[in-house]
A = this chain, B = another copy of it.
Amino acid sequence: MITIVAKCTVKPEKIDEFMKIALDLVDASRGEEGNVSYDLYADLANPAKFTFIEAWKDRAAIDAHNGTPHFKGFGERAGPLFAGPLDIGLYRRVV
């Protein structure tokens, strides 16, 4: 299993728009065969900061996800809403 932690900062005036797009992505991603979990978190100290925490069965599941229309569509629609680059890490669980 591979866990992805993807942190993003949204332009303050684009938070509502981002939320709609992000919820669509979460919903569609959870439906993928290789997905274990896909959750969106909001930073308590900064309403413009969000983190996706995702768990995938394996690398192939992530590759499949990256090729889906909903993921690509998210990238196109959400891209202009971000205030900077995303901070994405792929992890294995140690304990």
Q: Determine the main DSSP class of A at the interface with B.
A: strand
Q: Which residues of B contact A70 (CB under 8 A)?
A: none
A43-B89, A89-B45 as given contacts; A50 in contact with B94, CB under 8 Å: yes
Task: Please report the C-alpha to C-alpha distance between residue A40 and residue B42 in the assembled complex, in whole angstroms.
Answer: 21
Q: Quick one: which of A20-56 are within 8 Å of B by CB?
A: 22-23, 26, 39-45, 49-51, 53
Distance of A94 from chain B, by nearest CB (Å):
4
Task: Please report the C-alpha to C-alpha distance between residue A94 and residue B26 in the assembled complex, in whole angstroms.
Answer: 10
Contact A44 B94 (CB under 8 A): no
Q: Which residues of B contact A45 (CB under 8 A)?
A: 89-90
Contact B7 A41 (CB under 8 A): no
